[in-house]
Amino acid sequence: MRTTPSNLVIAIDGPAGAGKSTVSRSLAEILGIERLDTGAMYRAVAAAAIHHGVDLSDGAALVALAEALTVEGDGEVLVADLSVGHLLRLDATNSAVSLVAATPQVREVLVRHQRQWVEDRNGSGVVEGRDIASVVFPDATIKVYLTASAEERARRRVDEGAASIIRRDEVDSTRAVSPLHVAPGSRVLDTTGRTIEDVTGEILGWLA
C-alpha cells in the first residue's frame, strides 16, 4: 500500500449508478485513506424523518435530524441513536431523499459535517456525492465527475429502478441549491463498459 500525504482529497460527483460508490471504495482501499458517502447522509436524514413521522416540508425538523447525524468509524450513519442502514434503500427513502437534499438548511448542516469529517482525518479522504467538487471541496486535490449511459446506470441500480433514477437526476440537476453539475476543473469519466480497475487506474494516474 502506498504512503499518502495529508490533505489529499479526492472529490467524486455524478448521478446515480455512475459508479461513484464502487470507484470511491476502490480508491480509498488502494490509497489507505477513508471514504465518505455523502449521499448516505442525505438518505439517513430522509429515512429518519420517515421513521419518526416528520413532515418532509418541515425544514426545522429536518435540520434537527441533520444536526443529530454522526458517521461512525466503519461508515455507519446514525441519526441520534437510530441506525438507519437498513432503511437507506427503501422505496420510501428513494422517493424522499431528493426533497430532503433540496432543503438549503439541511445541506448547510451536512456540508459542515462533511468538511469536519475530512478535517478529523488529517485533511484527507475520498468523498463522493452530488456537490463535492462544486461546493464541499472546490479545492480538492482531484475532482472527478463520473457518468454512464442511462441504460448502464439503470442496470447497476436495480434496487431503485430506471424511473426513480431519471426522476432524481431531474430534481438534483434543477434544484436551486447545489445542483448536480460538472464543477470547474473536474475531469469527466464515462464508466460505461469500463472495469473498476480501468477507471480506478486512470484516476490514480492523475496523482503521479
192-207 pLDDT tens trace: 999 999 999 999 999 8
- For position 1, what pLDDT does the model report? 41
Quote the strand ranges of 107-165, DSSP E.
125-129, 142-147
Q: Which residue from 5, 65, 77 is spatially nearest to 36, judged by alpha carbons?
A: 77
With cut-offs at 50, 70 and 90, classify the pLDDT of residue 170: confident
Burial of 138 (0-12, 13-18, 19+ CB in 10 A): middle
pLDDT score of 30 more than 70: yes
- For position 159, what pLDDT does the model report? 65
Residue 64 amino acid letter: A
Least confident of 71-75, 100-104, 144-148: 71-75
Quote the strand ranges of 14-165, DSSP E.
35-37, 69-71, 77-79, 82-83, 125-129, 142-147
Residue 72 amino acid letter: E
The set of cell numbers assigned to 188 is 469527466
- CA–CA separation, 163 and 166 (whole Å): 5
Q: Which residue segments constitute the domains of the chain, with CATH numbers given?
A: 1-34+123-208 (3.40.50.300), 38-120 (3.40.50.300)
pTM over 0.75: yes
